[in-house]
Amino acid sequence: MDLQDQLKNLFPDHEPSPEEAIEEVAHELYVQKEPMICKFEKRKGKATTIIEGYEGTDEDFKILAKEIKTKLSVGGTFKDDSIIIQGDYRDKIMTILKEKGFKVKRVGG
């Protein structure tokens, strides 16, 4: 006996209402005119890539950080208005950002 049958036994007079279709609107990221900075640093002896200079909201920047981390399958964090990615992925990150329409400037090396 599945859940629908059990509900019909408990509430015989109830008629289920038709499901309403919920339209999900894709979130648009704010694309700025000024270039974002993609730089390489070593922190505690480990390579990190840092992305700075986004002028949109923090939520948009967090969404962008999550997309980058999932596409590259790496760890990272969003801290102090910058995205910190574990490892040296400057070239790959720059291509991802350029595909989204951002201008990116490479700093350091």
Tens of pLDDT along 22-60? 666 666 777 778 888 999 999 899 999 999 988 888 888
User: What CATH number does residue 69 fall under?
Assistant: 3.30.780.10
DSSP sequence for 9-31: HH-TT--PPPPPPPPPPPPPPPP
Q: Is residue 26 part of a domain?
A: no
Are the C-beta atoms of residues 42 and 86 closer than 8 Å to each other?
Answer: no
Q: Is residue 25 part of a domain?
A: no
Are the C-beta atoms of residues 51 and 85 closer than 8 Å to each other?
Answer: yes
Q: Is residue 27 part of a domain?
A: no
Total of domains in the chain: 1
Domain boundaries, position 39: 33-107
pLDDT at position 22 is 62
Q: Is residue 91 part of a domain?
A: yes
Q: Is residue 101 part of a domain?
A: yes
Q: Is residue 19 part of a domain?
A: no
Q: Is residue 7 part of a domain?
A: no
Task: Kindly state the percentage of the chain with pLDDT values over 70.
Answer: 90
